[in-house]
A and B are shown apart, each in its own frame.
Chain A
Amino acid sequence: MPQVANIAVSILFDGLAYAMFLFITSVGLSVTMGLMGFVNLAHGAFAMAGGYVVVTLTRSYGVSFVPSLVIAAIVVGAVSVVFERVLYRRLYKSTDLEQVLLTIGLAFMAIATATYLYGPIPKSVPLPDWLQGDINLGFRQFPSYRAFLIVLGAALIAVLWYAFERTNIGAKIRAAVDNRRMAESVGINVDRLFTLTFAVGSGLAALGGGLAIQLLGLSPSFAVLYLVLFLIVVAVGGLGSLKGTLLAALVLGIFDTGGKYLLADAGGFFVYAVTVVVLLIKPAGFYGRE
Chain B
Amino acid sequence: MAASEIISGAMRERAADYLTKRHRFRAAEALPWLIAIAVFFIFPTRMTFGSQVLVMVMFALSLDLILGYAGIVTLGHAAFFGIGAYTVGLAAARLDWTEPISGLFAAAIAAGLVGFVTGWFLLRYRGLTLLMLTLATAILLQETGNLRSDISGGYDGLPGLTFKPLLGIFDYDLYAHTYYLYVLAVLAVMFYLVRRIVYSPFGQALTGIRENVRRMHAIGSPVHRRLVTVYTIAAAIAGVAGALFTQTNAYVTLTVFDFDNSAKVMVMLILGGTGRLYGAFIGAAVYMVLEDYFSKLSPTFWQFGIGLVLVLAVLFAPRGILGLFERMGSYFAERKRS
A198 to B253, CA, bound (A): 39
Q: Is A266 an interface residue (CB 8 A)?
A: yes
Contact partner, A113, options B67, B147, B266, B304, Cβ 8 Å? B304
| Interface stretch (choices B137-145, B199-207, B224-232, B278-286) | B137-145
A residues near B9, Cβ cutoff 8 Å:
none
State the main secondary structure of chain A at its contact with B.
Answer: helix
A239 to B127, CA, bound (A): 12
A102 in contact with B311 (CB, 8 Å): yes
Q: Number of contact residues on B: which range applies? A: 35 or more
| Interface stretch (choices B11-19, B171-179, B312-320) | B312-320
Q: Is B186 an interface residue (CB 8 A)?
A: no
A102 to B266, CA, bound (A): 13
Q: A115 with B300: in contact, given A232-B136, A239-B128 (CB under 8 Å)?
A: yes
Q: Is A165 an interface residue (CB 8 A)?
A: no
Bitwise, A244-266 to B at CB < 8 A (1) or not (0) is 00000000000000000000011
Q: Is A184 an interface residue (CB 8 A)?
A: no
B residues near A109, Cβ cutoff 8 Å:
303-304, 307-308, 311
B residues near A87, Cβ cutoff 8 Å:
311, 315
A269 to B147, CA, bound (A): 9
Q: Is B166 an interface residue (CB 8 A)?
A: no
Q: Is B25 an interface residue (CB 8 A)?
A: no
A96 in contact with B318 (CB, 8 Å): no
B residues near A285, Cβ cutoff 8 Å:
129
B residues near A232, Cβ cutoff 8 Å:
132, 136
CB of A96 to closest CB in B, whole Å: 6
Bitwise, B7-35 to A at CB < 8 A (1) or not (0) is 00000000000000000000000000000
B140 in contact with A112 (CB, 8 Å): no
Q: Is A283 an interface residue (CB 8 A)?
A: yes
B125 in contact with A279 (CB, 8 Å): yes
A98 to B310, CA, bound (A): 10
A residues near B304, Cβ cutoff 8 Å:
108-109, 112-113, 116
Q: Is A228 an interface residue (CB 8 A)?
A: yes
Contact partner, A276, options B73, B137, B314, Cβ 8 Å? B137
A267 to B148, CA, bound (A): 12
Q: A231 with B132: in contact, given A96-B127, A102-B311 (CB under 8 Å)?
A: yes
A residues near B65, Cβ cutoff 8 Å:
none
A residues near B314, Cβ cutoff 8 Å:
91, 94, 98, 101-102, 105
Q: Number of contact residues on A: which range applies? A: 35 or more
A100 to B314, CA, bound (A): 10
CB of A101 to closest CB in B, whole Å: 5
B147 in contact with A96 (CB, 8 Å): no
A272 in contact with B73 (CB, 8 Å): no
Q: Is B135 an interface residue (CB 8 A)?
A: yes
Bitwise, A86-101 to B at CB < 8 A (1) or not (0) is 0100110010111011
Add 17 more A-B contacts to A112-B304, A116-B304, A276-B137 (CB < 8 A): A39-B128, A100-B131, A101-B313, A105-B310, A108-B304, A109-B308, A115-B300, A228-B135, A228-B259, A234-B128, A235-B132, A265-B147, A269-B140, A275-B133, A276-B133, A280-B121, A284-B129
Residues on B lying within 8 angstroms of A by beta carbon are 67, 73, 75, 121, 124-125, 127-129, 131-133, 135-137, 139-140, 143-144, 146-147, 259-260, 263, 266-267, 270, 300-301, 303-304, 306-311, 313-315, 318
User: 24 A-B pairs, CB-CB below 8 angstroms?
Assistant: A39-B131, A96-B73, A98-B314, A100-B75, A100-B131, A101-B266, A104-B307, A105-B308, A105-B309, A109-B303, A109-B308, A111-B303, A112-B303, A115-B300, A224-B259, A231-B131, A265-B147, A266-B143, A268-B143, A269-B143, A272-B136, A276-B140, A279-B129, A283-B124
